[in-house]
Amino acid sequence: MKKLITMMAIVLLPNVAMAETYDEVFEMNRAMYGKGHTFSWEGKEYSTNHPEEIEASVEATKENADALIAKAKAENEAAAKVGFEWKLTKGIIKDAEAASAEGDYSKALTLAAQAKYHARLGVQQQIDAEKNWHLSVPQ
Amino acid sequence: MRIIKNLTIGMSLIMGSQLVAAAGSGTTLDTVNPEADRMALRSYYQSRFPDSELSDYVNGIYAVDADSRSQWEELEEFPPYEFDVEEGERLFNTPFANGKGYADCFENGGIGIRQNFPYWNKEQGTVKTLEQEINECRENNGEAPLKWGKGAIAKVSAYMAWTSRGKVFDIKIPEGDKEALAAYLDGKEFFYTKRGQLNLSCSNCHLQGSNIRIRADLAGPALGHPSHFPVFRSKWGELGTLHRRYKGCHQDSRSKPLDMQSTTFRNLEFFQTYMSNGLVVNGPGSRK
Range of the domain at B47: 2-78+168-287
Q: Is A56 in the same domain as A122?
A: yes
| Same domain? A115 vs A55 | yes
Could you give the CA distance from residue B288 to residue B202 in angstroms, rounded to a whole number? 18
Name the residue range of residue A71's domain.
Answer: 51-134
Binding-face residues of B in 199-228 toward A, CB within 8 A:
199, 201, 203-204, 207-208
Check if the beta carbon of residue B120 is closer than 8 Å to that of residue B183. Answer: yes
State the total domains in chain B.
2
SS (H, E, C) A36-48: CCEEEECCEEEEC
Whether B282 and B210 share a structural domain: yes
The answer on A72 and A42 residing in a single domain is no
Q: In chain A, which residues have their Cβ closer than 8 Å to the Cβ of B37?
A: 137
One domain for residues B194 and B280 = yes
Domain presence at residue A139: no
| Same domain, yes or no: A34 and A81 | no
Distance from CA of A109 to the nearest CA of B (A): 21
Tens-level pLDDT at each residue, chain B (288 residues): 454 454 444 444 444 444 334 445 488 999 999 999 999 999 999 999 999 999 999 999 999 999 999 999 988 899 999 999 999 999 999 999 999 999 999 999 999 999 999 999 999 999 999 999 999 999 999 999 999 999 999 999 999 999 999 999 999 999 999 999 999 999 999 999 999 999 999 999 999 999 999 888 899 999 999 999 999 999 999 999 999 999 999 999 999 999 999 999 999 999 999 999 999 999 999 998
- pLDDT of the residue at A9: 54
Check whether B225 is labelled as a binding-site residue.
no
Nearest Cα to B277, choosing from B220, B203, B224, B206?
A: B224
- CATH classification at residue B32: 1.10.760.10
The answer to whether position A63 is within a domain reads yes
Q: Alpha-carbon distance B47 to A115, whole Å?
A: 43
CA distance B241 to chain A (A): 22
In this structure, the number of other CB atoms found within 10 A of the CB of residue B54 comes to 15
Catalytic hit among B111, B249, B258, B280? B249
**pLDDT-based confidence at residue A72 (cuts at 50, 70, 90):** very high
B1 carries an active-site annotation: no
Question: Are residues B193 and B58 part of one domain?
Answer: yes
User: Are residues B147 and B273 located together in one domain of the fold?
Assistant: no
